[in-house]
Amino acid sequence: MKFKSRQQIEEAECFDEHGQLRESPENPPRFDAPISLEERGITQGRPGPIQSKQLEWYQQLIWSKATMHKNTVAVKLRMAGRNELAKTLEDCHTQYTIAKCKGCGKVEKFPNRCEHKICPECQPRLAADREKIVAWWLKTVTQPKLVTLTVKNVTDFSAGHVEEFQRWFRNLRNRKFCSNWTGGFYSLEVTKEGDDWHLHLHAIVDAVWIDQFQLSLEWKSVTNGQGFIVDVRRPTQRLPAKGEKIRGKRPTTCLLETGGNCHPG
């Protein structure tokens, strides 16, 4: 195994086989093996040789933009005093492990990865891994419900607010009301609304029935009145549009023939 820095690779690609300096690199500044776009669901069919080369070039260009985005994020982190995390991102994809097959002689390059969820260069890989896990879980459930929980907006957004929200959700799941929730997963999201921050949760829950009216009461209780607006629907139903109110205290009806909850009409 031999490690090379990004600078060494850049210098190597700037000279031809005779040692003459090229005026510009032949490819965009991205050095790990490109992922074929047709294998990521962006294109349909199998393109010809010329199209494949064009797609590969554009893929490299996209990845170079991810590198610039990563460095921009690192600058913002340093401005916020998060120097250690900024350095983690800056060091990501800067060294490569060179491996050569003893049988066929094929050479592969593997970049170092920080595997951090905010790293633009690691996000595609992490998202693909999570997608596989979610897809596997969805094959095992029979009554999936999309649950949305919200709380009042806050002016100062902090890690403590997120931890408090997670604790509220954990307390909710420990209540008798959620005893029929056999499994699921959730995602926390935050949006900027004017001068305030709006933290909310989306969860996919495997449950035969979730009473939206009672869920609102339970959520209000565990959050000490900070949250009561909730929503329950089948995953195939449309989510509320931006600015559309989520009604949290109207009783819903059950669609037994489809095995799901419906949005109040």
Q: Distance between CA 68 and CA 98 in Å, rounded?
A: 24
* Local confidence pLDDT in tens for the 265 residues of the chain: 444 444 454 445 444 555 554 544 444 444 444 433 333 333 344 445 545 566 666 655 555 778 888 888 898 999 989 999 999 999 998 888 888 888 888 888 888 899 998 898 898 888 888 888 888 888 888 889 999 999 999 999 898 999 999 999 999 999 999 999 998 889 999 998 888 999 999 999 999 999 999 999 999 999 999 998 999 998 775 555 555 554 443 333 222 222 333 333 3
Question: Of how many residues is the chain composed?
Answer: 265
Q: Is 263 helix (H, G, I), strand (E, B) or coil?
A: coil
Which of the 8 DSSP states describes residue 178?
A: G
Order across the sheet with 107-111: list the strands: 2-5, 95-100, 107-111
Q: Distance between CA 231 and CA 215 in Å, rounded?
A: 9
Could you state, in order of their start, the residue ranges of all structural domains in the chain? 2-127, 137-261
Q: Distance between CA 89 and CA 227 in Å, rounded?
A: 35
Q: Distance between CA 2 and CA 39 in Å, rounded?
A: 29
In terms of CATH architecture, what is 137-261? 2-Layer Sandwich (3.30)
CA torsion, ordered 80, 167, 219, 264, to nearest 10 deg: 60
Q: Could you tell me the pTM of the whole model?
A: 0.57
